Amino acid sequence: MIKVLFFAQTREQVGVDFVMVDADNISADTLREQLCEKGNEWSQALQSGKLLVAINQDMVQMDTVVKSGDEVAFFPPVTGG
């Protein structure tokens, strides 16, 4: 299982803080694509090229492989604080 976290506007659009996904050895972008299949709000919130991704709290590229047990976070490039 992969824990997928959402932050800022992305979290507001999908309506949840996190989801658990049963997947292993897929790219972060493939994970994003799978989540987009959950509906229109998801596909809008997780548009390609409009997100940053971190795996286990390290910033990575979308082609980075995600493994079972990892924590993935999707968030917009600019977040207020």
Residue 81 has pLDDT above 80, yes or no: no
| pLDDT interval class at 80 (50, 70, 90) | low
State how beta strands 18-21 and 2-6 pair. antiparallel
Identify which of 49, 52, 47, 42 has the alpha carbon closest to the alpha carbon of residue 19. Answer: 42
Element (H, E) at 4: strand 2-6
Q: Which domains does the chain have, with CATH numbers?
A: 2-75 (3.10.20.30)
Q: How far apart are CA 20 and CA 48, in angstroms?
A: 21
Identify which of 10, 63, 3 has the alpha carbon closest to the alpha carbon of residue 41. Answer: 10
Which pLDDT value is given to residue 49? 87
Any idea what the Cα angle at residue 80 is, between residues 74 and 81, rounded to 5°? Answer: 110
Per-residue pLDDT tens over the stretch 23-64: 999 999 999 999 999 999 999 999 988 899 999 999 999 999
Is the model's pTM score more than 0.95? no
